[in-house]
Amino acid sequence: MKKKIGFIGLGIMGKPMAINLIKAGYELTVYDINQSAVEEVAALGASKAASSKEVAEKSDVIITMLPNSPHVKAAVLGENGVLEGARPNSILIDMSSIAPLVSQEIAAKVREKGMEMLDAPVSGGEPKAIDGTLAIMVGGPEEVFKQVEEILSVMASSVTLVGEIGSGNVTKLANQVIVALNIAAMSEAMVLAQKSGVDPYQVYQAIRKGLAGSTVLDAKMPLVVERNFKPGFRIELHIKDLLNALETGHDVGAPMPLSSQVMEMMQVLKADGKAGDDHGGLIQYYEKLANVEVGK
């Protein structure tokens, strides 16, 4: 018998992830402060809940997909939160991207209630959330992971247990550092091409199968040349991830000079009113300095 799943957080990523679980035949109870998102998922077969507590009361596995550490703490530990309604032996899977130390803090409280927890952040953005091909990096006990691996696989093409609780979010931070630096490198290179009078899209086509090619380049460069900065992953959320990465780096003594530079570039765009743009919109930082626009 399939486990009953609760899903808290139906944003850009969470909504398509929840929909894929419904399509796979899971019984879902959902909650979000955005009622229109709840109604949309309910129309596809999910049950509606009025709080995180009610979600937990009706679920064997509770998934949270929320913006940042304070939102997860409120949903799990706060008033009308998951811990107030959770069944003994239920499993909390936090798929948000939050600080690793916060994951460990929440997990300790979860275990006190007789529950288990995994931190399982995702990578891939909205397109991969929609088609169920996310990469999921998981931290927590292997025996708990085995119980929910099938559920996670509905939403992903790659599901990897990387270590104990918090390891998933350390892995996600590493991922976000690499993605941010890739986007910055692409932006710097393509503004150089445009400023030099060489078609940036042809430069992209020439280098994409070589050593400079990457998933990031293939995902973002076509959008840049179309001037499409509709968010698959917003700049303001990448700022949040880089902040968590920098704080974690400071805590453990890992130098992060390149990440700090890209963080400042994103902060400039945020101050310029572009916090809601896709993180591929980082190229606008370089374009403004060079007084040029990259396009076909």
Q: Which of 15, 53, 113, 172 is catalytic?
A: 172
Q: Which segments of the chain belong to CATH 1.10.1040.10?
A: 170-290
What is the full per-residue pLDDT of the chain (296 aa) written as tens digits? 789 999 999 999 999 999 999 999 999 999 999 999 999 999 999 999 999 999 999 999 999 999 999 999 999 999 999 999 999 999 999 999 999 999 999 999 999 999 999 999 999 888 899 999 999 999 999 999 999 999 999 999 999 999 999 999 999 999 999 999 999 999 999 999 999 999 999 999 999 999 999 999 999 999 999 999 998 889 999 999 999 999 999 999 999 999 999 999 999 999 999 999 999 999 999 999 999 999 86
DSSP the chain: -PPPEEEE--STTHHHHHHHHHHTT--EEEE-S-HHHHHHHHTTTPEE-SSHHHHHHT-SEEEE--SSHHHHHHHHHSTT-HHHHPPTT-EEEE-S---HHHHHHHHHHHHHTT-EEEE--EESHHHHHHHT-EEEEEES-HHHHHHHHHHHHHTEEEEEEEESTTHHHHHHHHHHHHHHHHHHHHHHHHHHHHHTT--HHHHHHHHTTSTT--HHHHHHHHHHHTT----SSBHHHHHHHHHHHHHHHHHHT---HHHHHHHHHHHHHHHTT-TTSBGGGGHHHHHHHHT-----
What pLDDT is stored for residue 1 in this prediction? 75
Residue pair 98/120 in contact (Cβ under 8 Å)? The answer is no
How far is residue 254's CA from residue 251's CA, in Å, rounded to a whole number? Answer: 8
Please state which architecture CATH assigns to domain 170-290: Orthogonal Bundle (1.10)
How far is residue 268's CA from residue 288's CA, in Å, rounded to a whole number? Answer: 11
5-165 placed in CATH 3.40.50.720: yes
Active-site residue 15, yes or no? no
How far is residue 156's CA from residue 133's CA, in Å, rounded to a whole number? Answer: 4
